[in-house]
Amino acid sequence: MTTPKPLQNGPSRPVVASDGPAPRNYWSKCPKCGYSAKPRTVGQGSQNHRVNGFIAQIAQSTGNSFDAVKMYCKVQAIDRGYPFDTIRGTVVPWSESRLDTRQAGMLIDAIEQLAAEEGIRLQE
């Protein structure tokens, strides 16, 4: 029986829940700096669930659209180090699907700050 080769830069196909836990070396690695990053968490009780749940609560409380609140929070998170692209001089914050756990944490912090400033008590 041969041992499978470890993955170098993530899986060659999308990982699905039925695949079981991600292999140890699943995390992506930046080719320039070598920074290893764990993808943001998804599913019940995850960072992704928290972001969207908090955004929905703020949108409902303020009367703004879900998308508008989410984009506002992403723009505010840029000062914290949230990643973005610049297109023809316009800053475009990254989609959550591209984030690692650290960057998703920056977005969650910005969302929680907005809720606090608006006097909104977020429910987990």
Phi, psi of 85 (to 5 degrees): -110, 155
Query: Any idea which residue has 């292999």 for tokens?
Result: 23
Phi, psi of 87 (to 5 degrees): -120, 115
The larger pLDDT score, comparing residue 46 to residue 1, is at 46
CA distances from 77 to 2, 4, 26, 28, 59 (A): 46, 40, 26, 22, 17
pLDDT for 12-69, tens place per residue? 444 444 444 444 444 555 555 555 567 766 667 788 889 999 999 999 999 999 999 9
The token pair that represents 13 in the structure block: 């196909």
pLDDT for 79-111, tens place per residue? 999 999 999 999 999 998 888 889 999 999 999
pLDDT, position 5: 46
pLDDT, position 11: 43
- Locate the domains of the chain by residue range: 40-118
pLDDT, position 24: 47
Dist. CA 101–CA 83, nearest whole Å: 12
